[in-house]
Structure 1
Amino acid sequence: MSDEGGAGEPLSDSQKREIAVWFLSNAPAGEIHYVAKDVRALLGDDAVYEAAAAEAFPEYNKAHLVPLELPDRSGDIIIATYGELDRNNYLDPRTAQVATIDHIKQTCTKLRPAADEELPSAYIEEFSNGSWRSIWTMDFNYELQFVDIKGKIQVDAHYFEEGNVQLDTNINCKDSTIMQGFSLV
C-alpha cells in the first residue's frame, strides 16, 4: 500500500545522499559548515554524509568563489572553475603555482610550482593588474512589494603585451522586480 503522505518506505542511502548534497550545495554563502554539521547529525550515517560532502563541497566552493590562504601565506587562491586543473588542484596564475585543496576543510594543503603544460602560456607577465569594483543598492517598497536594484560596476585592467594595454570601463545597471514570499518578522 502506498502512502502519499510520505510515511512509506524508508529512504535509501542514495536518496539520503542526494538530499544531503542538495542541502549542502544550497547553503548560504559562508555557511556551509553550519549546514554540514546539521546534515551530518540528521543523517546519523558518516558514510552517507562523507559521500555527500565529497560531492557538494567542491561545487559549493567553486560556485561561491571561496578564497583560501596559501600555505606559504603569500596570498589567497580563489577556488573557481577557471583555475581548476583537476578536482583538488588549482592554478594560481599570480604566482605560477598549483595549490592542492581540501574542499571539506576549505584549506590549501600543499603548494608546488606549476608545470609548463599547466600554465595558460609559457610566460606570465608580472606587470599585469586590475580591479573590479561594484556598488549595489536595493530600495524596497514594502507597500507595493516592489524592489528597485541599482548597480555601478567599474573595471580597470592594465597589461604590457608588446606595448601598454589598458581598459577602463564603467557600467550602470538598473532593474526592478516584485517581491514574493517576503514577510517582516
Structure 2
Amino acid sequence: MPTTVDIASSFIEGAPPGELADVVADVKALTADDPSVISSIAPAFQRYNEQQLATVKLPGASQEVVISEFNKLDDGRYFDVESSTSFDFDHVTQKASNAQSYVLESKNEDLIKSLLKALGKHASEHYPSCSYGVYPTENDSAVAMVLVANRYSPNNFWNGRFRSVYQFPVSSSSTVTGKIQVDVHYYEDGNVALNTTKPISISIPSLSAESVISRIAAAERDYQEDLNRAFVQLADGAFKGLRRQLPITRQKVEWEKVGGYRLGQDISGGKGR
C-alpha cells in the first residue's frame, strides 16, 4: 500500500510545467500534521528537476542555466560549461547559490564547446526563450546535448514546456539518439494536459558540430510540424464535438445565474410568451 511519502513524491514528479511551487503548497496543506514530509521526499524533487530540465539564474547572472543528470557533480553541485561555473541548487525552492569558478575536464572539451556554440545559434533562431547545455557523459564516452524552452501564462490558465535531450557517442557511432518531449497544461474551468514523447535517432553524415546541430534542428522542426497538424485535427474533430455550443445570442450562458433566466426571452433572445 502506498505510503504518504510515495503519494507526495508522485504529486511532485507529476507537477505540470511552471507549477511546482503550487504543488508543493498543496502537499504541505495536505500533510500539515506531518511537517517532515517535504524533507522526506527530497529525492522526488531532484528527479523532477533533472528530468524536467529545470532552469535557474546564477547569482549575479541574467541567463538561466539547466539542471540535468548530465551536469551534476559528485558533491551534489551542478556546473555550467558556458559560464565556467559550478553552484549549489536547492531542489525545493529551485534557487542557486554559492557559485564558484569551474574548469571543465574532458577529453572531448573542444567538441563540447563547438557543439555548445552551434546549439546556442540554433536555440536563438528557433526558440524565443530557452536554456541549453552540452556536457560530457559518464566515462567521457559520449556528449549530451539538452535544450528546454518554457512558456508560462498563468493569467491565461496555461503553461508549457519543450524539452529535447540527445547523446552523441564520440568514437563508436555516427548516430545521435535522444527524445523530444512537449508538455502543456491548460486549466481554465477544467484540466487538460498534453504530454508527448518522440524518440529520435539521427544519422550524422560528418562529425562536425554544425552537421550534428543541423540534423537535430531538422528533427525538431519536423516534430513541431507534426504536432501542429495533430492540433488542427483535434480542434476540428474531437474537441469540436466536446465543445458546448453557444446559444442563439452568441454569448456564454452565465450558469450561476441560470435560475434567474426567463427561458424564452433571456436565453433565446426572443420575447417571452
Task: Normalising by structure 2, report the TM-score.
Answer: 0.44
- Report 1:8-157 matches (<5 A): 15-44=3-32, 45-52=34-41, 54-86=42-74, 88-115=76-103, 117=105, 121=108, 125=113, 128-130=117-119, 131-132=122-123, 133=126
Task: Assess if the C-alpha contact under 8 Å between 1:61 and 1:79 holds in 2.
Answer: yes
* Paired residue total: 145
Letter in 1 for 2:37: V
Identity %: 23
The answer for the alignment partner of 1:166 in structure 2 is 210
**What's the secondary structure of 2:98's corresponding residue?**
strand
The answer for the alignment partner of 1:3 in structure 2 is none
What is the distance in 1 between the residues matched to 2:29 and 2:242? 30
**What's the secondary structure of 2:3's corresponding residue?**
helix
CA offsets per residue over residues 141-165 of structure 1, 9 Å max, x none? xxxxxxxx9x9xxxxxxxxx9xx85
Larger Rg belongs to:
2
Give the drift of 1:74. 4.8
| Structure 1 residues 122 and 65, CA gap change in structure 2 (3 angstroms) | closer
What is the distance in 1 between the residues matched to 2:209 and 2:109? 20
**What's the secondary structure of 1:82's corresponding residue?**
coil
What is the distance in 1 between the residues matched to 2:107 and 2:99? 18
Task: Assess if the C-alpha contact under 8 Å between 1:88 and 1:103 holds in 2.
Answer: no
Letter in 1 for 2:38: Y
Aligned residues: CA RMSD: 3.7
Give the structure with the larger strand fraction.
Answer: 1
Task: Assess if the C-alpha contact under 8 Å between 1:88 and 1:102 holds in 2.
Answer: no
What is the distance in 2 between the residues matched to 1:42 and 1:21? 13
Letter in 1 for 2:39: E
**What's the secondary structure of 1:50's corresponding residue?**
helix
Give the drift of 1:86. 3.8
Give the drift of 1:87. 6.8
Give the drift of 1:166. 2.3
Give the structure with the larger helix fraction.
Answer: 2
What is the distance in 1 between the residues matched to 2:19 and 2:242? 22
CA offsets per residue over residues 98-134 of structure 1, 9 Å max, x none? 12111111011121112454x5656674783321437
Unaligned runs of 5+ in 1: 1-10, 137-148, 152-160
